[in-house]
Amino acid sequence: MTISAPIRSPCPPGACICGRESLLEVGGADIRVLRLTREEERRLLERLENLQSLADLERLQQRMFEQLGIRVAVAPGFNEVRTMRGISIQIDELPGLCRKTRQTIPAAIRRGLEKNPQIAFELLNAHDLLRDA
């Protein structure tokens, strides 16, 4: 007997363009992202909002990729960084990833950086932007 992990419930019709149904129809497709249920998403967002260090953020990025297949890139933006909005947070396109989740993950990371600005300074320093400061 095989017990499968619970998967995310479908979005209301027309509200999302995640492609959940087409992902489920394809045999052998990577459906790890569908394991991010609404409850698990809440826990992930809470964890992202309560970051402790840059290493903690990097560990979470790695775990999101390993467990869900979600690639999140956090780096200083192209122009100068004056606020947390200047930090670029990109999520790679992934079939099955809800539009709302694609927006809430970067917002939670920004809230975490605002709570602990030292992480933003570490991020900038890791990219040699505070080299001469």
Provide long-range contacts, Cβ within 8 A and 24+ apart, for 55-62.
56/119, 57/109, 57/112, 57/119, 57/123
Q: Is 87 within a domain?
A: yes
Domain presence at residue 4? no
Q: What is the pLDDT along the chain (133 residues), one digit of tens a residue?
A: 344 678 888 887 777 878 888 888 887 778 888 888 899 999 999 999 999 999 999 999 999 999 999 999 998 877 666 666 778 899 998 888 888 899 999 999 999 999 999 998 888 888 775 555 5
Report yes or no on 11 lying in a domain.
no
Whether 94 is covered by a domain: the verdict is yes
In-domain check, residue 79:
yes
Domain-located, residue 112: yes
Whether 3 is in a domain gets the answer: no
Residue 126 three-state SS: helix
- Domain span holding position 99: 31-126
Has residue 21 been placed in a domain?
Answer: no
Domain count, the chain: 1
